[in-house]
Amino acid sequence: MTKIIANIFEPHCEIQNIIMNHLANRDSGTRFLWVACGTKFGKTLGAAGGYAYAFPRYPGSTWRWVAPIYKQAKIAWKYLDNILPTGYKYDKKTNLIVKNKTDFIMSIPSLKIESQFWHGQSPEDLEGEAIWGQVNDECAKLKKQVFDSSMTTWTMTQAQVLNISTPRGRNWFYSGCMRAKEEMEAAARENRVPREMFLTAPTAANPFVPRASIEEAKRLLPDRLYRQYYLAEFLEDGSTFPNPIIDSENWRTEYEQDGPIEWWIHPDSKEMTIVAGVDWAKKSDYTVLICIDHTKKPFKIVGFLRFHQKRYTDQVIDIVKFLRKFKYCEMIFHDKTGVGEAIDDILSKVPGLVYHGVVFTNASKALMVNNLITGMEQKNIHFPWWKALIHEFDVYEVETNDLGRMMYSAPDGDHDDIVSSCFLAYAAAEEYGSRDFEVKILEDLPSLEFKKDSWENYMYEELDIDPEEGF
């Protein structure tokens, strides 16, 4: 008889113990386990331990691990690779597990067992094959069709299914958890085993997470993020940011021959004093300029510009042309992470331009993101209607690194340039918005404006460009 010796760790708490035993308990009567987990609880690692214990026990079976994207499926593969013994060149006597990293398949040929690792980008690909057990990792980020398509593979086998995720709003994962909760309550009344179970696993349930880290997160994070990521609560809106307050529906898209340019500007721009935030394009990203009227609260975004595939010098030219459409710009906060002093050197040649370069660290970025979240919660900033802006705010993510620090970014394959320029502009508005603009002496105003003669000479002589040209 084939014997598998796996290096499976001990569960760190009772909830993780239930997770690790679910897939192997085909006779328990509970087919579906739904677990809402806090960050760093150990959901993926615990599920991997249970998966490694379960799938070698059933000859002739096929198993699946499904994650939202390839990168997350790869994490599960890595865990299983460490837990299960490594095979050799195929020989039935010496090789127990064959690991095909190209196709992301682990198999036990002598027992006709196969374990597949999938991403959920193409849910229809999951249909067809009879599956005995499945882990759906980070369910809140999976499309519902992943669950629906997979269901067709469970009908005949009565598969064990483990659904684990950190909450993200009240989507299909939330609905499944609530359905399981109702089933548990009904089963308790009827004195039977529930067909589905729901558990909440907050971060604090993991004894290896320092209590000080949890307290620090509670102190530093906005309440809504702490409740979602550490207490594993389902919030009405699970996005990192609250829904933006839309102030205007006026926006348009202009195109140039060398690529698309999206821009909008308030009709009264010539009378407006602003601050701005700029996130510069790196590789395939976009350069984004956000302009805020910071003279009174609530602050209002009164202009935006977005483009890509331009040299840094050309990016600066287009941005300064756009800023000249306003009365004057008091300050620009820009991200110079990765580009060093190159952007500052170019900006320094623009007469009358006042700017401050920000190098993003995890701490500085977290502070600016959290300040913008608080500003949105307190309705201190209004936004124009812009489809790309709404999308970026909706998908922006928070993750926890190995040190327990929160890291902010767009998901793989998406962009966060608009979000970055917004929190840079908001930081500038907060810093410069407390001033009394009514007491400025008239003679002081020109020093805050672009010096037209100097600017035009710079454009003509240094760059050989007509300053009155459009984008």
| pLDDT value for 190 | 96
| pLDDT value for 86 | 63
| pLDDT value for 91 | 46
**What pTM value is reported for the model?**
0.76
Question: Which H, E and C letters describe the chain, residue by residue?
Answer: CCCCCCCCCCCCCHHHHHHHHHCCCCCCCCCEEEEEECCCCCHHHHHHHHHHHHHHHCCCCEEEEEECCHHHHHHHHHHHHHHCCCCCCCCCCCCCCEEECCCCEEEEHHHCEEEEEEECCCHHHHCCCCCCEEEEECHHHCCHHHHHHHHCCCCCCCCEEEEEECCCCCCHHHHHHHHHHHHHHHHHHHCCCCCEEEEEECHHHCCCCCHHHHHHHHHHCCHHHHHHHCCCCCCCCCCCCCCCCEEECCCEEEEECCEEEEEEECCCHHHCEEEEEEECCCCCCCEEEEEEECCCCCEEEEEEEEECCCCHHHHHHHHHHHHCCCCEEEEEEEECCCCCCHHHHHHCCCCCCCEEEECCCHHHHHHHHHHHHHHHHCCCEEEECCHHHHHHHHHCEEEECCCCCEEEECCCCCCCHHHHHHHHHHHHHHHHCCCCHHHCCHHHHHHHCCCHHHHHHHHHHHCCCCCCCCC
| pLDDT value for 469 | 61
Compute mean pLDDT per 10 residues along the chain, 471 residues long, and list them: 63 94 93 96 94 92 93 91 66 68 89 92 84 95 91 88 93 95 96 97 95 90 89 84 76 58 90 95 86 94 90 89 93 86 85 89 87 92 91 84 71 87 96 60 44 53 55 52
| pLDDT value for 442 | 41
Domains contained in the chain, CATH given:
14-205 (3.40.50.300), 246-462 (3.30.420.240)
| pLDDT value for 280 | 92
| pLDDT value for 454 | 56
